[in-house]
Amino acid sequence: MMTFQNLLSQIPQWTLGKIPDGYTSKDIARITAINIFGLIIVTVCATYSVIFFFQEDYYLFWICLSIAVFCAIPLFLNALSQFNISRTIYAIQAPPLVLVFTLLLGPGFGIQYFFVLLFSFPFIYFKTNETPRIILFYLYNVICMAYFEFGGTLGLEEAAFTSEMYLALKITIFLMFLIMAFTLFFAFYRVVIIDEQKFVKSTLDKEKAIHGQHELMAAMSHELRTPLNDVVTIVNILEENPEHRDRLAFIKLLKQTSNNMLSITNDIIDFSELEANKANLNLKSRDLKQVINGLVYTYRSIAEKKGLKLTTEIDHDLEKRYLIDETKLGQIIANLITNAIKHTDSGVVQLTVKKENSEGVMDDVCVEVSDTGKGIAAEKLEKIFENYSPIRTMLSDPSGSTGIGLAIVRRLLKLHDSDITVESAPGIGSKFSFKLRLRSSRKKPEGTSADIEKLLDKKILLVEDNMVNAMVAEKLLENWGLLVIKKENGQEALDALEQETFDFVLMDLHMPVMNGIEATQKIRLRESPYQNIPIYALTADIMVDSKDEFNDIFNGFLSKPIDKEKLQSILISTFSE
């Protein structure tokens, strides 16, 4: 069901068609208001000019027709993307237009009340740095109002109508007033209310983040101070009495405490990198089963010390080697295993890895960590993934856990374009699971031609803001053995090219923040190793490839939906050179 808020968000598409790249919600609100006002006046005047023509009232016919043509000019300019000229003309023509209608029809129709609506125009049509124009418009409107009240007729004769025509005009003007008032509300909503909602949400998010950071830092300080006190105390005892009868126990305790401190420090560093978006995947060909068995071997002794059984179930259909970031995948699974051991007093912790689907060189691999532990109440499930949660009882946890392990897991999975899910109930246990789309480094890519093997391990930057289009293109490319990095706008693409090395770029043209044309122009103008990287434009605009200025910056164009054979041919040709 479409809500009122969704209805308001759809209005620009109805009146603008394709919204220009780089335009803010305020720009869109201004253009939309001009188009709606213009369409209303042009439609009404054109309709009544036809009526007056058949009534042989040529005086009113020519006036209505002239006004319709005059008011169509801003609409025509908007169609040519001359938005600044359009809003200037509309601001100039609006007050005298109301004045002419008022003098022509007389005060009985209430046209003079449209002057009140016009006082909102500076708020909508002008930008914050256009103060002189706002003042001039305000005075201009006041002069037109004063002329109506105290001036002459401008040579216009007040029209006379039949009772039926009078009623029709009254209804028409009333409806025009309602539609224009709603348009002003829409513009106010887009320009002020949405911005205020974003500001309030941003402020609340910042306050929540600051509060969470304070809470986290307090907990970290406590966690580090406690083992440090133990270390200092033990060192002092051994310094005073090197031959203390419990020295071996003290040394063992020092080792355990040092390992806990190292774990805490590593968690803090990992979390800081993820919060600052500085972490990236380092994919290498690894034996996935070997990696998992190594992790299980490491944590099996910890489980056994608690009297728990750590078991594994690994799908035999898994490929031997995949491109993975062994360190980050290890962190994810290790955090889930230690979390399960920590909250399980008796029973089993099980790690399950299975292949769910296979497309070309890509496999969908599901990883599950289940336990027979305490379980978590439904209302607390989402909170366990926050930066710090009292649910984890970190301060009393003898394992040395920082309590941010699950938050780290969620952020690491985000790097893999995945997320964590949890099923749990108090007294029954919990099951944490996630899915990864992994590329086998042993299977050959789809295709019968040997040429397609030239695409293997080539790195493509896919710049596309539409999630569905990006997903379809990503799966297609991955099935041919390519490594795909996705970004959502031109600015992100520029940042990615500065940080990583790519072999090819697929660039959508229409994106927020920075469109594909501007981004590609910046790439070509910069003195950098990627200045001449092959860049193909993705577009639904069939006329783009006929424009010479675009041919100078793009290596070619691909229409949406993507032609699979054409894209494959382009890639093979590019990497064969």
Does 155 lie in the same domain as 21?
A: yes
pLDDT at 1 over 50: no
pLDDT at 397 over 50: no
pLDDT at 558 over 80: yes
Does 493 lie in the same domain as 418?
A: no
Give a yes or no: residue 465 inside a domain: yes
The residue type found at 201 is: K
Q: Tokens 């910042």 sit at which residue? A: 206
Q: Which of 439, 406, 232, 233 is nearest to 318 (CA)?
A: 439
| Helix axis angle, 25-54 to 4-16, nearest 10° | 70
Span of 4-8, 116-120, 358-362, 368-372 with lowest mean pLDDT: 4-8
pLDDT for 12 equals 46
Does 143 lie in the same domain as 122?
A: yes
Q: For residue 73, what are the contacts with CB-CB under 8 A and spacing of at least 6?
A: 86, 89
Give a yes or no: residue 217 inside a domain: no
Question: What is the CATH classification number for the domain harbouring 343?
Answer: 3.30.565.10
Q: Are strands 504-508 and 459-463 parallel, antiparallel or unpaired?
A: parallel
Residue 292 phi, psi dihedral angles, 5° rounding: -65, -45
Q: How many CB atoms lie within 10 A of CB 418?
A: 16
Reply yes or no: is the peptide bond before residue 561 cis, omega within 30 of 0.
Answer: yes
Last residue of a domain, one of 413, 440, 467: 440
pLDDT for 11 equals 47
Q: Are 342 and 369 in contact (CB under 8 A)?
A: no
Question: What is the CATH classification number for the domain harbouring 514?
Answer: 3.40.50.2300
Give a yes or no: residue 236 inside a domain: no
Handedness of CA 117, 123, 126, 129 (dihedral sign): positive
pLDDT for 230 equals 72
H helix runs in 403-515, sequence order: 405-415, 467-479, 490-499
- Band of pLDDT at residue 33, cut at 50, 70 and 90: confident
Helix (H) or strand (E) holding 533: none
pLDDT at 116 over 70: yes
Tens digit of each residue's pLDDT (9 = 90 or more) over 531-553: 899 999 988 765 554 455 677 88
Give a yes or no: residue 271 inside a domain: no
pLDDT at 260 over 70: no
Does 467 lie in the same domain as 423?
A: no
- Band of pLDDT at residue 312, cut at 50, 70 and 90: very high
Does 524 lie in the same domain as 433?
A: no
Give a yes or no: residue 232 inside a domain: no
The share of the chain scoring above pLDDT 90, in percent, equals: 14
Does this model's pTM top 0.85? no
Does 431 lie in the same domain as 465?
A: no
Does 459 lie in the same domain as 364?
A: no
Q: For residue 301, what are the contacts with CB-CB under 8 A and spacing of at least 6?
A: none
Give the tokens for residue 33. 């208001």
Give a yes or no: residue 230 inside a domain: no
Does 289 lie in the same domain as 372?
A: yes
pLDDT for 404 equals 66
Q: Are 351 and 311 in contact (CB under 8 A)?
A: yes
Give the tokens for residue 461. 């930057």
The share of the chain scoring above pLDDT 70, in percent, equals: 79
How many domains does the chain contain in total?
A: 3
Tens digit of each residue's pLDDT (9 = 90 or more) over 75-86: 888 777 777 788
pLDDT for 506 equals 95
Does 328 lie in the same domain as 307?
A: yes
Contacts 24+ apart (CB under 8 A), 70-73: 70/97, 71/38, 71/41, 71/42, 71/45, 71/97, 72/38, 72/42
Tens digit of each residue's pLDDT (9 = 90 or more) over 424-450: 988 889 999 999 999 887 766 655 456
Give the tokens for residue 505. 């770029």
- Residue of 91 and 450 predicted with greater confidence: 91
Does 456 lie in the same domain as 434?
A: no
pLDDT for 405 equals 72
Last residue of a domain, one of 422, 440, 458: 440
Does 518 lie in the same domain as 454?
A: yes
- Band of pLDDT at residue 313, cut at 50, 70 and 90: very high
Instruction: Output the average pLDDT for the chain.
Output: 79
Q: Are strands 308-314 and 284-287 parallel, antiparallel or unpaired?
A: unpaired
pLDDT at 308 over 70: yes
Q: Per DSSP, which regions of 47-173 are E strands? A: none
H helix runs in 306-415, sequence order: 326-342, 405-415
The residue type found at 125 is: Y
Tens digit of each residue's pLDDT (9 = 90 or more) over 450-490: 677 788 888 999 999 888 888 888 888 888 888 899 998 99
CA separation (Å) from 360 to 355, 407, 462? 14, 33, 19
Q: Are 95 and 131 in contact (CB under 8 A)?
A: no
Does 149 lie in the same domain as 17?
A: yes
Domain boundaries, position 135? 4-203
Give a yes or no: residue 263 inside a domain: no
Q: Are 270 and 331 in contact (CB under 8 A)?
A: yes
Q: What does the pLDDT average to over 222-244? A: 78
pLDDT for 421 equals 92
- Band of pLDDT at residue 565, cut at 50, 70 and 90: confident
pLDDT for 271 equals 64
- Band of pLDDT at residue 310, cut at 50, 70 and 90: very high
